[in-house]
Amino acid sequence: MILLRDMLSHAIVPTIFGRGLLDKYPNIIQDVVTMDDGIPFFMMSLPIFTPWSGVTKAHLARQRLWKAMDEMQRQLDRRAKGSETDYSWGDLDDVSEFILTRNELWRGLSCAVIICWKCV
């Protein structure tokens, strides 16, 4: 199962997110697995300093994933605005239409979400 998971992940991630994500963050698939293993810890709201190695690993993996996805989102935003993107991401032409549409949707909603969040 692990071999199948790794093979499919290395085929699916570049297809959806483009090759730049795996090139820039080669351990992202393992981070997804580690975070997924820690879902029960997140559901129990255990903090990162809980003295179980699985909890700490899950929190650190989630932070790395947030960083990777945030950076990718910023590069896609720059690309959409016509600005230069970081050369280490490549040209981002292989990012799927699904992700580009998602990025466009969130760019349009970001101001509304911030306003609503401030009202709460």
Domain boundaries, the chain: 2-119
pLDDT (tens digit per residue) in 93-105: 999 999 999 999 9
Residue 4 has pLDDT above 60, yes or no: yes
Which pLDDT tens digit goes with each residue over 31-66? 999 999 999 999 999 999 999 999 999 999 999 999
Q: What is the pLDDT of residue 39?
A: 96
How many angstroms separate the CA atoms of 95 and 44, rounded? 35
Global pTM reads 0.83
CA 100, CA 94: separation in Å to the nearest integer? Answer: 10
Tell me, rounded to whole angstroms, the distance of Cα 89 from its chain centroid.
Answer: 14
What is residue 116's predicted lDDT score, i.e. its pLDDT? 52
